[in-house]
Chains A and B, each alone.
Chain A
C-alpha cells in the first residue's frame, strides 16, 4: 500500500469513528443541545477547562440552544465531509475547535472528567497534518502515547500499592457495583459479580491479569513487532473492563488504530530510520566530522509523488 493511500485510509477511519461517535452520543443524550438543562458544572483543577470557561465558550455552548444545535450539526457535517475527503484546511481546524469545545463542555456538565474521549482528542492532529512524513512521525508519537497510557496505569498500581494487595479486585467490585447489586439482587449479572467478590482468589487472578496486560505494553517501547498482539490485548482489556467493571470505554478503543495501521505508514517510518543509519555510515566512512546530510526534502518528494 502506498503511503498516501495509507494516510488516506487512516484519516478515513478516524472520520468514520467521529461520525459513529456522534451517533452514539446522540443516542445517549450527550450532544450539546441535549445537555442544555444540566444543572451543574465541575471544572475540577483542570487549567485548560478554566481557560475555556473563562473565555465564555462553555457558557455560550450550554446556555444557547440554537448555537448548541449548530455546533452539533457542524460536528456531523464536517465529519461526513471529512469521510469523503473533501475537507479544506479551515474546515478541519473548525472541526478540531468544535470537538475540543465539546470535550470541555461534556466533561464539565457531567461533573466527572471521563477519559473515554481522549482517544479522539489525541487523534485530531492527524486529521490536519498534510505532509506525509509529518503524519508518519505524529502517528509514531501517538503510538508511544498509547503505550504510555496503558503501561502507566500499571505503574500507578505498583507505585500506590494497589497492585500487591490480595482482595483489591473484590473490594473494587463492591464499590463499583453496589448500586446494581442492591437494585437487582436476583439478576444473573449480580450473581456473577457476587461470585467474584466472594471468591477473592479468582478476583485476584483477574486483577493481576489486568495489571500484567497493562505492564506488558512497556514492551512496545522496545519493539513494534508485537503490535498485533498489543492491539488485541488493548481491545481485550476494554472488553473485560466492560463485562466485569461495567465501564464503557469503547470510544477510547479508537486508539487501537496505532497498533493496526495500514502497512505503508511503518514502511515509511522504517525508511526514515534507515536513512538516518545510512547517513551515519557515510559520515563514519568519510571520517569527516563536518559531513552534512544532503538537503533533499523527502517530504516534498513524497508529496510530489
Chain B
C-alpha cells in the first residue's frame, strides 16, 4: 500500500482515517481470533489440508427408499435446501440442543438475565425440528421425504460407491 494513501487520508479526512485504522485493527483481531463478526470477514475457505477419507458422508433425501436429487426438488436454490438439511442433522446430532446456547451461557453466565433474554432470540428451539418436516414439504412440494445419512467411499480413479463396513 502506498504511503501516499495514509498521508492523503490524514490531510483530507481524519475521521475516515480513524474508521480505516479501526477497521484494520478490528480485522487483525478477528483474524487472530479465527472467527468472524460483521464486517470483519475471513476468507479462509478451503485453506485447511483436505486429506483423503476412508468414507464420505452425504445427507440425502429419500422417498419410498429412492434417492431424490436436491437439484430437482425445488424451483428455488438447492444450496439453501442443503443448508437446512445439514442444520437439521446438526440439531439431531446434538439431541435437539442448539450449540449457540452453550456460547451464550459461556459469555454471559448460565443464570443471567441477559442469557434468559437472548436465548430464545438467538437459538433454534427443539420444537422447530417438528416444523422442519412441514417446511421441507412446502419448499419441495413433495410429501413423505426422509432425510438419510449415507456413507460412500471413493474407488480410486473411478467414482463414489456405497461404503459398507464389512
Contacts and interface: CB of A to CB of B under 8 A. Distances in A.
Interface residues of A, number: 79
A152 B37 contact: no
A45 B157 CA distance: 39
A302 B81 CA distance: 51
A293 B10 CA distance: 13
Interface in A174-197: 174-175, 178-185, 194, 197
Nearest to B51: A171
From DSSP, what is the main secondary structure of chain A's interface residues? helix
B83 A43 contact: no
A298 interface: yes
Contacts of B157: 198
Nearest to B128: A39
Interface stretch (A77-85, A88-96, A162-170): A162-170
Interface in B49-88: 49-52, 56, 58-60, 67, 69-71, 75-77, 79-80, 82-84, 86-88
Contacts of B37: 45-48
Interface stretch (A1-9, A13-21, A104-112): A104-112
Contacts of A144: 1, 5
Given A182-B160, A293-B11, A115 B43 contact: yes
B58 A182 contact: yes
B100 interface: yes
B100 A43 contact: yes
Given A115-B43, A148-B27, A273-B4, 19 more contacts: A40-B91, A40-B128, A41-B123, A44-B100, A46-B38, A54-B122, A111-B83, A150-B43, A157-B44, A160-B48, A167-B52, A171-B51, A171-B52, A174-B160, A183-B67, A183-B70, A221-B2, A272-B8, A272-B11
